[in-house]
């Protein structure tokens, strides 16, 4: 049956003059005169090779070159590799077979190319895919390519693509004929265009021989595959679960800092009617800061020094020129906690006294270690806050480094490098959540509530509400707590008019001056300077 394109060829021949018999036989039906065309016969052999016979027509006056690639893209970072054997070119021209390509040089006339292809058959579940680029790599337009295919078993499906590499343009015609053979046809391939044939046969029809080689590619390395999706989901669930546990454990603390708390009653009256100060859960001034902010600060040590003076272990004397002398009043005994003994030894040790102006930077590392151990012993924390935070931070850093190394290795060798990114992100999350660790115990959270009540008392208590004989004791015993809870200014102002004379003895019992005429009001001005000097002497 004559097609429309064949009619055009016939009319052109009539107008230009009828060709010779030989020329008519060489020019395929429907091919325009003066154009390159080819006819290809494929046969899938029972050993898995694909034998190819191609008849190529090159018009007079032209020399055509063609490069057939033996390495074709199979997705990001992967190539499908083919091998050509037994290549023979009959007719005018030359053939050169290399590892990754076959190069043809074709002279005018009809040439016949025969060769066998290994690597065209791939198993695909209950079928086998047979794939080959039957035409491509031309340096001139190819007007017409016709392909016929045979298979040992009845083919089940066929697909033909033609056009630029990577395009999804279909061939002009492709079908499984009524005789169970296959046929495909395309027109107008431009230089660089290709024609790809893929057909499917039942599984086990021939031995599979497809070869796929992997190589480094960012697109492949970081591609989202089912395996990486499952892995990332698992990492995400572990990360969410871990952060959820941290959030749950910190929930008590959040509520402890958020709920409304009234004043905590810290004054107790003994059997003789004397008012005394009693801290919540027996917490000492130096311990409060560690419980609240989970670290030992210089002010915690300073508050302990003031508390030791208030409890008659030390005596502080104000000297001219904003200097102070700290005198060892009573030796350290078993009533002192280990961190208080460490503060005592740090300040005076075996000496009778120490001048602040002569003291160099005080290394409070032993004090910190003792205080951290103290809050664990008191069951306010399950573990040392500093060690827990540092361990979590360094673990996170280690996970980040490991995740970066894993990402590099996976990117160079696999297509699941996103898993390494997931591990790296988990490490970053651990580092940033280190400051949330560790959680206080229930007892620790309860103490936070009580300490907030203590702060409320220091912020609102009135000196006038206390018996005059108890004011000095309450003022002095509460002062270290006011210092660590940042209520010093208010506490000093509230007791600014306090008569420091008791039984005719001027001044506080734990603090003195060298002035012949003591002015009790000076203490409210010099005490902040004493605190600032002590804080600067203590190494962070």
Residue 505 binned pLDDT confidence (cut-offs 50, 70, 90): very low
Spatial separation of the C-alpha atoms in residues 161 and 198, rounded to whole Å: 9
Higher per-residue confidence, 27 vs 162: 162
Q: Which of 34-43, 249-258, 313-322 is predicted most confidently?
A: 34-43
Under DSSP, is residue 233 helix (H, G, I), strand (E, B) or coil?
A: helix
Q: In whole angstroms, what is the distance from residue 496 CA to residue 512 CA?
A: 16
- pLDDT for residue 10 is more than 60: no
Q: Is the pLDDT at 501 greater than 70, yes or no?
A: no
Q: Once rounded to an integer, what is the mean pLDDT over residues 527-538?
A: 92
Residue 254 backbone zone (phi > 0: left; psi -120 to 50: alpha; other: beta): alpha
Mean pLDDT over each residue of the chain, to the nearest integer? 84
pLDDT recorded at residue 516: 58
Distance CA 540, CA 533 (A): 14
**Comparing C-alpha atoms, which of 442, 509, 438 is closest to residue 473?**
509
Q: What is the pLDDT of residues 379-411, one digit of tens each?
A: 898 888 877 777 778 888 999 999 999 988 888
- Asked whether the predicted pLDDT for residue 107 surpasses 70, the reply is yes
Predicted pLDDT of residue 405: 93
Q: How far is C-alpha 261 from the chain's CA centre?
A: 40
Give the lowest-confidence range in 22-26, 230-234, 339-343: 22-26
Residue 71: pLDDT band with limits 50, 70, 90: very high
Q: What is the pLDDT of residue 249?
A: 63
Using the structure block, give the residue that is written with the tokens 């020129």. Answer: 321
pLDDT digits (tens, 9 = 90+) for 122-171: 999 999 999 999 999 999 999 999 999 999 999 999 999 999 998 999 99
State the pLDDT confidence band at 208, using cuts at 50, 70 and 90. very high
Average pLDDT over residues 322-327: 92
* pLDDT bucket at 13, cuts 50 / 70 / 90: very low
Q: What pLDDT, on the 0 to 100 scale, is given for residue 508?
A: 79
Strands of the sheet with 121-124, listed across from one edge? 121-124, 127-136, 194-202, 157-163
- Mean predicted confidence (pLDDT) in 177-188: 92
Beta pairing partners, 161: 170, 196
- Asked if the model's pLDDT at residue 305 lies above 90, the reply is yes
Q: Cis bond leading into 529, ω under 30°?
A: no
Q: pLDDT value at position 78?
A: 82
């Amino acid at each position: 049956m004559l097609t429309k394109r064949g009619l055009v060829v016939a009319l052109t021949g009539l107008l230009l003059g009828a060709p010779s018999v030989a020329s008519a036989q060489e020019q395929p039906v429907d091919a325009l005169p003066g154009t390159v065309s080819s006819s290809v016969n494929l046969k899938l052999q029972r050993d898995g090779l694909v034998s190819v016979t191609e008849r190529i027509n090159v018009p007079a006056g032209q020399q055509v070159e063609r490069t057939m690639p033996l390495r074709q893209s199979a997705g990001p970072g992967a190539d499908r590799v083919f091998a050509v054997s037994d290549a023979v070119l009959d007719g005018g021209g030359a053939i050169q077979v290399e590892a990754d390509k076959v190069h043809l040089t074709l002279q005018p006339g009809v040439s016949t190319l025969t060769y066998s292809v290994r690597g065209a058959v791939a198993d695909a579940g209950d079928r086998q895919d047979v794939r080959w680029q039957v035409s491509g790599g031309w340096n001139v337009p190819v007007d017409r390519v016709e392909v016929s295919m045979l298979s040992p078993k009845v083919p089940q499906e066929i697909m033909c693509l033609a056009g630029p590499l990577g395009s999804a343009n279909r061939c002009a015609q492709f079908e499984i004929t009524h005789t169970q053979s296959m046929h495909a046809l395309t027109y107008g391939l431009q230089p660089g265009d290709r024609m790809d044939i893929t057909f499917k046969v039942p599984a086990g029809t021939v031995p599979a021989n497809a070869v796929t080689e992997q190589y480094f590619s960012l697109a492949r390395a970081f591609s989202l595959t089912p395996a990486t999706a499952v892995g990332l989901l698992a990492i995400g669930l572990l990360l969410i679960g871990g952060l959820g546990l941290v959030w749950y454990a910190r929930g008590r603390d959040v509520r402890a800092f958020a709920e409304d708390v009234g004043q905590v009653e810290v004054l107790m009256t003994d059997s003789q009617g004397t008012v005394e100060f009693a801290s919540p859960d027996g917490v000492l001034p130096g311990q409060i800061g560690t419980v609240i902010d989970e670290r030992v600060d210089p002010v915690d040590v300073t508050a302990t020094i003031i508390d030791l003076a208030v409890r008659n272990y030390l005596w502080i004397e104000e000297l001219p020129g904003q200097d102070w002398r700290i005198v060892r009043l009573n030796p350290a005994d078993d009533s002192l906690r280990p961190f208080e003994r460490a503060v005592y030894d740090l300040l005076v040790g075996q000496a009778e006294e120490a001048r602040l102006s002569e003291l160099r930077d005080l290394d409070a590392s032993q004090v910190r270690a003792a205080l951290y151990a103290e809050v664990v012993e008191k069951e306010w924390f399950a573990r040392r806050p500093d060690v827990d935070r540092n361990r979590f931070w360094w673990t996170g850093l280690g996970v980040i480094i490991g995740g970066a190394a894993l990402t590099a290795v996976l990117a160079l060798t696999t297509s699941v490098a996103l898993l390494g990114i997931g591990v790296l992100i988990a490490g970053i999350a651990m580092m940033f959540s280190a400051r949330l660790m560790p959680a206080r115990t229930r007892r620790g959270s309860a103490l936070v509530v009580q300490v907030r009540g203590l702060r409320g008392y220091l912020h609102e208590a009135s000196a006038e509400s206390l018996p005059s004989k108890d004011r000095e004791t309450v003022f002095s015993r509460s002062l270290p707590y006011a210092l660590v809870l940042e209520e010093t200014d208010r506490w000093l102002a509230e007791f600014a008019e306090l008569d420091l004379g008791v039984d005719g003895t001027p001044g506080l019992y734990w603090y003195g001056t060298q002035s012949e005429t003591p002015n009790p009001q000076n203490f409210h001005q010099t005490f902040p300077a004493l605190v600032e000097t002590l804080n600067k002497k203590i190494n962070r």
